[in-house]
Amino acid sequence: MNINFELYKVFYEVANQKSISKGAEKLMISQPAVTQSIKTLENELGGTLFIRTPKGVVLTNEGKELFEFIKEGMNYFINGTNKFTSLKNLDEGVINIGSTTTISEYYLMPYLKEFHSKYPNIVINITNNLTESLINNLRNGTLDIIITAVPDYSINDINYKVITNLNDIFVGGKKYKNKVCNNVETLLNEDILLQKVPSITRVNFNTFLKDNNLTCNPKMEVASHGLLVKLAENDFGIALLTQEFIEDRLNKSLFEIKTNIKIPKRKLGYAIKSNFIPSFTVSKFINILNKRINI
């Protein structure tokens, strides 16, 4: 059976208004068009829906039964439309963002602040984990978007967009303020502080060492970027840190070691699933990310 929903919409409004003329006014169509729609629906159903009276129309017993079902359906349609509009206007909604702890703490905040300022009713859920785990969460739908290091290779079901480049530099506390290391051997003989694998900074550094047939035996290895910053500030040694994450500390509590060694830049970006149509909420967040692209 082919159901013409427009006919039921006309039926609903006429029954609600108890008047063909008022129903037509509500629907913004002519009275003859409303009358014809009612007749068509009655013919399709094989029964009478309304009885005309001097004061308007009243439902037949069969019409009353039908109306109860149609009323419930119309309420669902209306509520669904209102919900859609609310989500479209970002009056409500949820966004699930994933990133590493370091990126969340040292890079993501300005984006979150702008998004929250514009759309304060949106619930922001942030998951911190290793990049591999974040990608798996993106695949299974528990995350909408992730902000992480962009790999040098493509991933079939993941689309990356580069936001900025990151530069890893060697820094120390006040003890190392005027330290100069003109060559890599001199630098690596210092007390080197590094993050542990699988830190992207460490992985990138290990690749640099391998490509240049170098080895490094760090004095200390820690998991936390924040702890590494504190160790460097307290003169435990020379730390490899991401310049963009410590800009507010450079030439204050941390000082870049003068050297001609350049660690290859890394790419930072966001990723969504391929063939994924972002929600209104995710699209707005992506707009903010794209606006701040710096490459």
Q: What is the pLDDT of residues 245-263, one digit of tens each?
A: 999 999 999 999 988 888 9
Q: Which of 95, 96, 249, 114 is nearest to 169 (CA)?
A: 249
Mean pLDDT of 11-38: 92
> Which pLDDT does position 67 carry in this prediction?
93
Residue 295's alpha-carbon distances to 201, 266, 292, in angstroms, are 19, 11, 10
What is the identity of the amino acid at 117?
A: S
Q: What is the pLDDT of residues 40-91, one digit of tens each?
A: 999 999 999 999 998 889 999 999 999 999 988 888 888 888 788 888 888 8
Asked if the model's pLDDT at residue 130 lies above 70, the reply is: yes
> Which pLDDT does position 3 carry in this prediction?
78
Alpha-carbon distance 181 to 256, whole Å?
11
Helix (H, G, I), strand (E, B) or coil at 106: helix
User: What pTM was estimated for this model as a whole?
Assistant: 0.73
Alpha-carbon distance 88 to 51, whole Å?
42
Q: How confident is the model at residue 161 (pLDDT cuts 50, 70, 90)?
A: very high
Question: Residue 154 has which token pair?
Answer: 């493509």
Alpha-carbon distance 180 to 60, whole Å?
95
Alpha-carbon distance 145 to 287, whole Å?
13
Q: Does the CA dihedral 171-174-175-178 come out positive or negative?
A: positive
Residues 6+ apart with CB under 8 A from 207: 264
- Least confident range from 25-29, 85-89, 123-127, 227-231: namely 85-89
Asked whether 277 and 171 are in contact (CB, 8 A), the reply is: no
**Helix runs in the chain, H state only:** 5-17, 20-27, 31-45, 61-88, 101-103, 109-118, 131-140, 184-188, 200-211, 225-233, 280-291
Helix (H, G, I), strand (E, B) or coil at 268: strand
